[in-house]
């Protein structure tokens, strides 16, 4: 069962990464390079694996939901910072 979940997580990451790859073929608005795909893939995979670890290790449903929500919010904040510079750090994309 664990291998099946891992395969599902990796497939979801690949499907999400195909969205900008396909969009780059049709428009100049999406301009990702290899580094962007590597960082996005690592962020998505890390998030998926951390949520999976939370589901495996934490027994109470409320705690699972809270921790997974915190992980997803962290992903969105990091992604937003890398994309457009929400907080204005040196890592910002703009």
> What would the pLDDT profile of 53-90 be if each residue is shown by its tens digit?
999 999 999 999 999 999 999 999 999 888 887 777 77
Residue 93 has what pLDDT?
62
| Model confidence, pTM | 0.86
What pLDDT does residue 3 have? Answer: 83
pLDDT at res. 17: 96
Which tens digits make up the pLDDT trace of 14-39? 999 999 999 999 999 988 999 999 99
pLDDT band with cut points at 50, 70 and 90 for residue 1: low
More confident residue, 92 or 65: 65
CA distances (Å), 73 to each of 31, 32, 93, in order?
A: 25, 23, 19
Dihedral angle over CA of 31, 33, 35, 40, nearest 10: 50
């Amino acid at each position: 069962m664990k291998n099946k979940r891992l395969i599902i997580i990796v497939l979801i990451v690949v499907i999400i990464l195909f969205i900008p790859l396909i969009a780059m073929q049709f428009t100049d608005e999406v301009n990702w390079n290899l580094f962007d795909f590597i960082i996005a893939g690592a962020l998505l995979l890390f998030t998926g694996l951390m949520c999976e670890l939370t589901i495996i290790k934490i027994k109470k449903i409320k705690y699972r939901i809270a921790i997974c929500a915190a992980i997803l919010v962290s992903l969105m904040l990091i992604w937003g910072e890398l994309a457009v510079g929400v907080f204005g750090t040196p890592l910002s994309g703009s």
